[in-house]
Structure 1
Amino acid sequence: MSDLTLYSMPSSGNSYKVRLLLALLGRDYCHVPCETQSAELKQAKAEGHLPLGKLPALHLGNGTILSESNAILWYLAAGSDWVPNDPLTQAQMLGWMFFEQNRHEPVVAVRASLNTYPHLKDEATPRVMAELLETGHALLQLMEDHMQGRAWFAGASASLADIALYAYTHTAGDRGGFEMARFPALNAWCARMAALPGYVGLWDHA
Structure 2
Amino acid sequence: MKVYGDTLSGNCYKVKLILALLGIEHQWQHVDILNGETQTPEFLAINPNGKVPTVLLDDGRILSESNAILGYVADGTNLIPDDRFLKASVYQWLFFEQYSHEPFIAVRRFIQQYQGMPPQRVEEYHSLQAGGIKALSIMENALKTNDYLVGEKLTIADIALYGYTHVADEGGFNLADYPAIQAWCKRISEQTGYVPMRS
Q: Into which bin does the TM-score normalised by the smaller protein fall?
A: over 0.9
Unaligned runs of 5+ in 1: none
Give the equivalent residue in structure 2 for 1:78. 75
Give the equivalent residue in structure 1 for 2:179. 184
**CA offset at residue 192 of structure 1?**
0.3
Amino acid of the structure 2 residue aligned with 1:141: S
Q: Give, in whole Å, the separation in 1 of the partners of 2:111 and 2:41.
A: 24
Amino acid of the structure 1 residue aligned with 2:92: G
Superposed CA deviations along residues 52-91 of structure 1, whole A, max 9, x for unmatched, are 2110000012211001000000000000010001011001
**CA offset at residue 128 of structure 1?**
1.9
Amino acid of the structure 2 residue aligned with 1:180: L
Match of 1:113 among 104, 110, 113: 110
Say how many residue pairs are matched. Answer: 199
**CA offset at residue 155 of structure 1?**
2.2
* Match status 1:200 vs 2:195: yes
Give the equivalent residue in structure 2 for 1:30. 27
Kindly report structure 1 stretches of 4+ aligned residues shifted beyond 6 Å: none
Q: How does 1:1-206 map to 2 (within 5 A)?
A: 4-38=1-35, 40-43=37-40, 45-46=42-43, 48-118=45-115, 121-125=118-122, 127-173=123-169, 175-204=170-199
Q: Please give the TM-score of this superposition, normalised by the length of structure 1.
A: 0.91
Percent identity for Structure 1 against Structure 2: 38
**CA offset at residue 169 of structure 1?**
0.2
CA RMSD in angstroms, aligned pairs only: 1.7
Q: Give, in whole Å, the separation in 2 of the partners of 1:46 and 1:75.
A: 22
Q: Give, in whole Å, the separation in 2 of the partners of 1:55 and 1:191.
A: 27
Unaligned runs of 5+ in 2: none
Q: Please give the TM-score of this superposition, normalised by the length of structure 2.
A: 0.94
Amino acid of the structure 2 residue aligned with 1:129: Y
Q: Is the 8 A contact 2:112 2:171 kept in 1?
A: yes
Distance change in 2, residues 1:39/1:140 (3 Å): closer
Q: Give, in whole Å, the separation in 2 of the partners of 1:123 and 1:157.
A: 43
**CA offset at residue 134 of structure 1?**
2.1
